[in-house]
Structure 1
Amino acid sequence: MGPMWPLVQRQVEFDAITASLTARSGGCGVVLTGDPGVGKTTLARFATDALPGEVKWVAGTESARSIPLGVFAHLVGASTSRDPVAFLSAARQALLDDGRSRDLVVGVDDAHLLDQLSATFLHQLALDRAVHIVATVRNGETVPDAITSLWKDGHLLRLELAPFSREQSIELIESVLDGPLEGLSADMIWEASGGNALFVRHLVEGALEAGTLRRSGGVWQLRGRAAISSELASLLEHRIDQIPADVLQALQLLTFCEPLDLDTLGQVAGEDAVEEAERRGLVRIVEDGHRLDVRYTHPLFGEVIRRRVGRAAGRRLRGRLVEALSSRAVIGPSNRIRLAELALDSDRSVDPGLLVTAAEDAIGLANVPLGERLARAALDETGGFEAADLLARALLWQGHATEAEALLQSFSPDSLDQVQLVRWGTSRIANLFWASGKSEKADEVLAVLREKVTHPSLVPIIEGIGSVCAVFENRPEEAAAAATAILAADRVLPWAVEWAFFGGGLSLALMGRGGCVPELAARSAAVADQIDGLLRFPAGHGEILALTLTGSFDAAQRRADEYLSLASTGRYVAWGLANILVGTVELARGRFTDAAGRLEQAIAALNVGDTADAISWSFPAYVALGQAYAELGRIHEADGIITEAQARNGRHVAVFGPQLMMSQAWLAAARGETSRAVALSRSAAESACTAGQFGIEAVALHLVTRFGDTTTAARLAELAGICDGQLVDIIARHAAAVATGDGCGVASVAAEFETIGALPDAADAYARAAIAFSRAGDKRRSIECAAAAEALSARCDHMSSPALVEAAHPLPLTSREREVGSMVAAGLSNRQIADRLFVSVRTVEGHIYRACMKLDVADRSGLAESMGTTVR
């Protein structure tokens, strides 16, 4: 039994229908028009069920179309008269003889299938306003004139029912699946269904049945082509069966190669067939630059047609397309990929050189599953290193590190020339370091390359990937120096530029020199089409960090969105990596719910392959998600994801160690363990400082300030002179104002945070200002700042922090008494509190006693209630 499908409320249309069916003047009803499956009948019946009066339904069918007044037979009874006028009169009397005609609603489903007499009868009822009418008519069908005149003459309101929006489709699917649907999968289902309610339902049920729609990490993902249920296929095949043979063949050719330029399809299938397909609304002609392309009007027709083509026929049809496409110049990656993919499954021979080139093209366009398929075919044909290297690169990006390593190890470095050696070595390093987490072995391969590669144009590639290894192993200064030297040279090869951008961009951002990174990003953009397409996404992490750490949040958002737009439909790894970049910006701007959802989906999308736990490029998502959960007060989930991050930690991601400690600090703060949150933040700052990550050190010390410490101002003033951008300068002035209890100064800095878009920082700053004013006895300003803090907290999805809690619940407690009270409210025992604070149980009891005395409560329960906070 399939899942239960609820009705998606279309309130505007529902209100229009019910109003037209209860009106006492003007028209007497409504005609719903729309494509098959768009939900006309469902909505019409739902609306009539809400009416107090009687509703009588009829339905037009092909079989009843030849019977005069056939669809109304069960309502009006049989007649012996053969005179149409007498027949209609008798029918009218039978339908309306109870004297309550004005309250009667007649519903007509598929009114375009009514016989002429039934259509005339319905028209007369509307003309006389004898009843209210709701009818449905399918777009693209021949409709009797009597029905058409119902809305043309103003008797009935015509309401075109549009397909679901993307948001409505997602709402419907998620309500059925009882869980979040991955954004990329939602796009695929929505585009395949065209928002058609019936198609959405059958696509989801077909994908569930086929196992291509499944849950991963709590997120539903569609992997592979959209599956079509047998019921939906039969519905669509009925329409396909009416298509002439030559038109069907044109559609069969198109299903193997969509889109296809108009001239090529006309050459292979015949121009008349293509024109007839367009006239029937089966295909559409769209402009693509100077070319006209043919596409299916609805993608599901292509899927059904594909299913009907046998293997032998498919090989023959693809062969015809290969022959036609090969007769013209094959220019550009997309054309080479298309030709190679067609040739693989055709009855024509395949050029191994084309397979190799097309595989490289596919990997360059981030379509690694297709790159893998083409590279495997090329390797089967040639057995050569070029094909093997391409296959290894496709595998490592998909997390299949074991197979990739075995493939590369089958070639001895001594048997390769220097160009091949560089490709062999960089692929192995990438696979060992970022797909497997084996940084020591990757360093060994790097040493081999440095020993054997001597050509001046190739050495920068080795040093470029070496800079990335260095920064991930938390040696950012070394990485930045190597990258800067590479990019300062003339005529640097694309791979050297990209590796240098990856290592240099991330290291400079972390070091607080984010102002240098946009120039590196511009160099990378100039060679982006000459390297693996997926590499640009983890390499872009440094660019996004540089923009956020300098306070350029709007620019960071724009760049992250641009990266996301590059991750086109069906490229799951690219989509996951791009969402890490967008999630990083959303987190900095306080869009915690959006960031959490996006990062959850990124982790699920990247949780692939035989070494998914070790994939380094997904590690930042775990760290950021832990912080997002903690700031939302989702403590259990934060604890779980941070534990997962710790299990994946190691030398291969050592650079993210300080950021992981900051996520742990946020978790401690969410638990009410403020002193531990401060200690963890300080440890993060010290670790970052030791490594030269001065930008991260500034953020960590800012966190110390946000958690209530007043001793960070001096070091932050130093860092403001070291780090680029306005953010660290604002952070330093914030710390100075907090240290002196300057409420006006803190409030001024809060406004600056708000202006640049750092809303969580602004919320905490306003809360600190409220606390400062309260201590100074300025109640009015304290209330104003507390209100501003609360308003910003609401804009940040009701984030939680120690400052916000204290500002919202001003109590006559010391910071340690407040911390102990918060832990009591969280349900911790005295022993647990003592263990977490590294004090004795007697000391905890003393804090609780003094807090109870100050708040005039009798016991722990009263203290917990007075704290006004609970763990969510």
Structure 2
Amino acid sequence: MPIRWNVPRQATAAERLDAALADTAAAAGAVVLGPDGIGKSTLARVAAERFAAAHPGTRVRWVTGTPTERAVPFGAFSHLVRIAEIGKPAALLRAARASLGDAGLLLVVDDAHQLDVLSATLVYQLARAGAARLIVTARADGAPDAIAALWDDGLLTRIDVEAPDAPTSPGEIDAFLAELTPPARAVLEYLAVAEPLSVTDLNALAGDGAVAEAQRWGAAETRMRGGTSDDPVVYTAHPLFAERVRAALDPDDARQRRTELVTVLARHPSDRLSDRLRLVSLALDSDAPPRAADVVDAARQALRLGDLALGERLARAALRRSGGLAARLALAHALGWQGRGREADALLAEVDSTGLTEAALMDWALLRAANQFWMLSEPERATAFLRTVRNRVADPGPRTTLDALSATFAMNTGNVGHAVKVAGEVLGSPAADDQAVAWAGSAAALCAARGRGGSTTSSRWRGARWPPNIPGCCASPSGWRRPPRCCWRAGSSRPANSRSSSPISPSCSSRVARSARCWWRTCCSPRANSLLRQRYWVQPRPPWSAPVTRGGRCR
């Protein structure tokens, strides 16, 4: 029989939640905090229904955090935002906000402590901009920094819900799970591996009628999330169900469930990037492994989204399967951006460069030199390495690119005269590609900010077509694990020792940041200014404050 939850009446919390949604002069919504199993989701659902009934033009959208979707960037928002063609994290967040719209949106975010960093960032930005009314439920402990900032920064009304005197015990939950019929239990086991799943897929996996059986027992529930999801989708009726089933599932049985799930999901591949990343992640620990090339591509996409941990996991898996250079480079990127430059250098040192094509040699050499310079703080070694590689390259285009990177090295070590000289030669070379122009232009302009500009405002640089991704041009990885105080929005109440979280993009050194701000004011054309603000100014800040900090000042 269905489990009986010991849920207290929350009349006061419901009244406060209704008031927070209705008060246009206050924060646009509320955060409902409390432990699992006390009725937070029910409070949110009832409040959303009441508000939508009183305001017919309201668009209600649901986002639910789960442990499996937390492993993928924008996992919980995959049905609401499209991210396949967007580049850097700041641009991703702007596009995600735009795709949600702002006309009468009521966004319910359930179990927000289970959101990935980008999803949590998006919730924070929606609250900061007042782009939607929000009902957020979460546990106060273990929430991402961006979610904790919702109440720390006073953006949403905080409503604490007390636990009952006699909460439902884990033993009662285990006893209930032991009584489930095999079809209902199978539904929970698949959801423990990947949650949510569509009704169609779950019935194909667990048998016709399995979802209805799980609902009859109160073990699972279907939800209409809105957006572009395969509604209805199935969630466990309570997060503790998936947690307890996952803990009890034998590793071999879990692997079999993943294999069966990957087989079914692969029959109708999704065009949503989050779904593709989730499928590849599931397949790695199954008996239906993906192609190594697909894993490398997924690793690159994860790194592009700023999920360094996922990028490392995928790249390592691809390297074990193929041993190829592409997987090795992706893994080195992931390690370097996490401040693990020694590991990245050792990984790159294993490459036998004598058999590489010129294009592959350049990919390997540029990454290794940048890692030696910025992550290992070995400028002499990095500069000498660039010279050695340059002597092996015959094509003038790649040689110019190597020169451009050496100019940035010279600028960063204070050798301004040499940096200006080399940068000028690169900018004047017809063989220079976009990347070389970007590196040389940045080096020359930063030197100009120090009073040694020369002809850095030449039309060659000012009119350059900036490539969409310029490694090292506007961000030098320094391996910071925690944003400095100056990264927070001006006037923020966030303390300097706030909890750390993995950065979603490489941080920049304060020395370069100070120079770059002067450079923008003195040297950049409006177009270059706009482009480089997207690539540089945004990235040193915590991701959730990026688009709303224009005018903020680093001290």
With the shorter chain as reference, the TM-score category is: 0.5 to 0.7
Q: CA 1:429–1:198 in structure 2 vs 1: closer, same or farther (change >3 Å)?
A: farther
Is 1:421 aligned to 2:361, yes or no? Answer: yes
**Structure 2 residue aligned with 1:183:** 145
Q: Aligned match of 2:331 in 391, 394, 404?
A: 391
Distance 2:307 2:148 in 1: 19
Distance 1:271 1:491 in 2: 62
Note the 1:300-699 alignment, pairs <5 A: 300-329=240-269, 333-455=273-395, 458-459=398-399, 461-463=401-403, 465-474=405-414, 478=419, 482=423, 492=433, 527-528=468-469, 538=475, 579=483, 583-584=486-487, 586=489, 589=490, 591=491, 593-594=493-494, 597=495, 600-601=497-498, 604-605=500-501, 617=507, 619-620=509-510, 655=512, 695=518
Distance 1:487 1:290 in 2: 52
SS at match of 1:254: helix
RMSD of aligned Cα (Å)? 5.6
Q: CA deviation at 1:183?
A: 1.6
Distance 2:228 2:147 in 1: 29
Q: CA 1:384–1:282 in structure 2 vs 1: closer, same or farther (change >3 Å)?
A: same
Structure 1 gap ranges (5+) = 1-9, 17-33, 40-161, 175-180, 203-230, 542-572, 608-614, 621-652, 660-687, 699-719, 726-755, 762-872
Structure 2 gap ranges (5+) = 1-9, 17-34, 41-133, 153-158, 527-549
Maintained 8 Å contact 1:502/1:538 = no
Is 1:258 aligned to 2:195, yes or no? Answer: yes
Q: CA 1:198–1:694 in structure 2 vs 1: closer, same or farther (change >3 Å)?
A: closer
**Aligned residue type for 1:527:** P
Maintained 8 Å contact 2:339/2:375 = yes
Q: CA 1:722–1:373 in structure 2 vs 1: closer, same or farther (change >3 Å)?
A: closer
Q: CA 1:38–1:293 in structure 2 vs 1: closer, same or farther (change >3 Å)?
A: closer
Distance 1:510 1:479 in 2: 11
Q: CA deviation at 1:319?
A: 0.8
Q: CA 1:723–1:418 in structure 2 vs 1: closer, same or farther (change >3 Å)?
A: closer
**Aligned residue type for 2:221:** L
Q: CA deviation at 1:410?
A: 1.5
Q: Which has the higher helix share?
A: 1
Q: CA 1:284–1:409 in structure 2 vs 1: closer, same or farther (change >3 Å)?
A: same
Q: Once the two structures are superposed, what CA deviation does each residue of 1:400-426 show, in whole Å capped at 9, x if it has no partner?
A: 222221121112332221122112112
Maintained 8 Å contact 1:277/1:283 = no
Q: CA 1:466–1:616 in structure 2 vs 1: closer, same or farther (change >3 Å)?
A: farther
**Structure 2 residue aligned with 1:246:** 183
Distance 1:371 1:306 in 2: 24
Distance 1:369 1:509 in 2: 36
Q: CA deviation at 1:315?
A: 0.9
**Structure 2 residue aligned with 1:36:** 37
**Aligned residue type for 1:436:** L
Q: CA 1:285–1:442 in structure 2 vs 1: closer, same or farther (change >3 Å)?
A: farther
For this pair of structures, how many residues does the alignment match? Answer: 396
Distance 1:196 1:189 in 2: 15
Which of structures 1 and 2 has the larger relative contact order (alpha carbons within 8 angstroms, sep 6+)?
Answer: 2
SS at match of 1:366: coil
Q: CA 1:482–1:163 in structure 2 vs 1: closer, same or farther (change >3 Å)?
A: same
Q: Once the two structures are superposed, what CA deviation does each residue of 1:172-216 show, in whole Å capped at 9, x if it has no partner?
A: x59xxxxxx9725848999xxx987659xx9xxxxxxxxxxxxxx
**Aligned residue type for 1:37:** I
Q: CA deviation at 1:316?
A: 0.6
Q: Once the two structures are superposed, what CA deviation does each residue of 1:758-786 show, in whole Å capped at 9, x if it has no partner?
A: 8999xxxxxxxxxxxxxxxxxxxxxxxxx
Distance 1:291 1:441 in 2: 54
Q: CA deviation at 1:368?
A: 2.0
Q: CA deviation at 1:312?
A: 0.8
Q: CA deviation at 1:353?
A: 2.7
Distance 1:601 1:484 in 2: 46
Note the 1:146-185 alignment, pairs <5 A: 170=140, 183-184=145-146
Q: Once the two structures are superposed, what CA deviation does each residue of 1:635-692 show, in whole Å capped at 9, x if it has no partner?
A: xxxxxxxxxxxxxxxxxx6x57xx6xxxxxxxxxxxxxxxxxxxxxxxxxxxx8xxxx
Q: CA deviation at 1:329?
A: 4.6
Maintained 8 Å contact 1:252/1:309 = yes
Greater radius of gyration (CA)? 1
Distance 1:758 1:616 in 2: 20
Note the 1:40-189 alignment, pairs <5 A: 170=140, 183-184=145-146, 186=148
Distance 2:428 2:213 in 1: 57
Maintained 8 Å contact 2:183/2:213 = no
TM-score by length of 2: 0.54
**Aligned residue type for 1:314:** A
Identity of aligned residues (%): 25
Distance 1:328 1:483 in 2: 53
Maintained 8 Å contact 1:512/1:694 = no
Maintained 8 Å contact 1:511/1:694 = no
TM-score by length of 1: 0.37
**Aligned residue type for 1:342:** L
Distance 1:12 1:503 in 2: 60
Note the 1:717-866 alignment, pairs <5 A: none
Maintained 8 Å contact 1:487/1:500 = no
Q: Once the two structures are superposed, what CA deviation does each residue of 1:370-403 show, in whole Å capped at 9, x if it has no partner?
A: 2222222222222232222222222112222222
Note the 1:192-231 alignment, pairs <5 A: none
Distance 1:293 1:479 in 2: 61
**Aligned residue type for 1:377:** A
**Structure 1 residue aligned with 2:49:** none
**Structure 1 residue aligned with 2:118:** none
Q: CA 1:198–1:410 in structure 2 vs 1: closer, same or farther (change >3 Å)?
A: farther
**Structure 2 residue aligned with 1:286:** 225
Distance 2:137 2:229 in 1: 31
Q: CA 1:11–1:245 in structure 2 vs 1: closer, same or farther (change >3 Å)?
A: closer
Q: CA 1:252–1:466 in structure 2 vs 1: closer, same or farther (change >3 Å)?
A: farther
